[in-house]
Amino acid sequence: MPLLTTSASVPAKNNRLIVVGGGAAGLMAAGQAAERGVEVVLLEKMAQPGRKINISGKGRCNLTNTAALPEFLTHFGKNGKFLRQCFQQFFSPDLLSFFAEHGLETVIERGGRVFPAQGRAADVVGVFRDWVAQLPVSVRPGSRVEELLVENGQVRGVLCNGNAVLGRAVILATGGASYPATGSNGDGYRLAEAVGHSIVPIRPALVPVETSGGLAARLAGLQLRNVGVRLLINGKRKEDAFGELLFMKYGLSGPVILTLSKLMVDALRLGEQVSLLLDLKPALDEQKLEARLLRDFADRRKETMASVLRGLLPEQLVPVCCGETALRPEALAGEVTAAERKRLRCWLKSIPFPVTGYRSFKEAIVTAGGIELTEVDPRTMQSKLCAGLYLAGELLDLQADTGGYNLQAAFSTGWLAGRSAAAQLKEV
């Protein structure tokens, strides 16, 4: 493991904790440690902390989810078990109590998603700003950390803006690589790797995908609710999802696409063939949809197909449907043949979208990959490779579906890192 040393090997301050990064994990860590009597220096390279919180949830900030712990962990996939011990100490009810104690009301919406009652992410940032302002936390904006200072396997501080900032513990909470304009440009991976940590290859997650064929571009701006999406990899059914979808000029977005995006990104990176089948009528199987079409066409047999289809589809989809299924919009519903009806039924249940790529980190909600979890103690968030170094938030190889899961993980790992670091410092 490469070791970085201070130029004069100056002993670190005994009771100082350095937190690198002023996002959800960093702010929570700084406040928790400071409440326990530790001097905290919070280094944030942007002009002010909390910028990524401000844009989360489209500016509304989906704080957490009310799902019970076993279900909650499943949303992180196989790596979710790493969070069990952390969540057993600080979980969604504890987070909501924390915000309530600091005057922030919350509401529960569809799917157990929890938001600030006024729907403003800025209110969440305000809670943290006011909280740390009352504590022994020195917030230093415009502070870019270039190196971790390590001596004999023990962290001694950081090199920040060309100067050594000394401390006996450091919490690295710089965020991932998504939304780099908020400051999360992947610096933390480089810092961790320099002291020996392994980095699982990072890639965009919860990210829109690009499709070929031009159909998405023709429907750009159209949002559909309650649709089914089937993911095929190399022609084999891989996963099904249900929810909202948004057509973009380049392809597809929306919660249902973001949920499937990790599987698609990983498959594309392996050179596999990826495609999506869109089901506009997921509540109806083939037989029930056939009965619905027969009934509609019979009841409205003297109306045009364009008119009847408007009862089945958003208006913007009607001309597209006619073009894709070779149905004449001016034809009377009573004149539709069995073969034409079959083409329509099949199209409604499985509109194909070949997936050719995915958008960049600039549009990804979170980062997949990150610091190898086996190198981090799940009981404390302390590095197993470097004493006094703690790791929290999106830097870790943890990523979940949309719905408040990722932000809860950031708050919880930050909470645990802050308390663990404080306990270590108070021992001296």
pLDDT in tens, 385-395: 999 999 999 99
Would you place residue 7 in the very low, low, confident or very high pLDDT band (cuts 50, 70, 90)? Answer: very low
Confidence at residue 181, expressed as pLDDT on a 0 to 100 scale = 84
Q: Is the Cβ–Cβ distance between 308 and 331 less than 8 Å?
A: no
Confidence at residue 420, expressed as pLDDT on a 0 to 100 scale = 98
Residue 348 pLDDT exceeds 80? yes
Q: Which residues pair with 383 in a beta bridge?
A: 376
Would you place residue 182 in the very low, low, confident or very high pLDDT band (cuts 50, 70, 90)? Answer: confident
**Cα–Cα distances in angstroms (integers) from residue 271 to residues 106, 277, 334, 356, in the given order:** 44, 19, 47, 10
Would you place residue 179 in the very low, low, confident or very high pLDDT band (cuts 50, 70, 90)? Answer: confident
Would you place residue 12 in the very low, low, confident or very high pLDDT band (cuts 50, 70, 90)? Answer: low
Confidence at residue 5, expressed as pLDDT on a 0 to 100 scale = 38
pLDDT digits (tens, 9 = 90+) for 215-233: 999 999 999 999 999 999 9
CA dihedral 250, 256, 257, 262 (to 10 degrees): 160
Would you place residue 58 in the very low, low, confident or very high pLDDT band (cuts 50, 70, 90)? Answer: confident
pLDDT digits (tens, 9 = 90+) for 151-178: 999 999 999 999 999 999 999 999 999 9
Residues 158-172 as b/e (b if ≥16 CB within 10 A, e otherwise) read bbbeeebbbbbbbbb
pLDDT digits (tens, 9 = 90+) for 230-277: 999 999 999 999 999 999 999 999 999 999 999 999 999 999 999 999
pLDDT digits (tens, 9 = 90+) for 66-79: 999 999 999 999 99
Confidence at residue 36, expressed as pLDDT on a 0 to 100 scale = 96
Residue 3 pLDDT exceeds 60? no
pLDDT digits (tens, 9 = 90+) for 290-317: 999 999 999 999 999 999 999 999 999 9
Confidence at residue 151, expressed as pLDDT on a 0 to 100 scale = 96
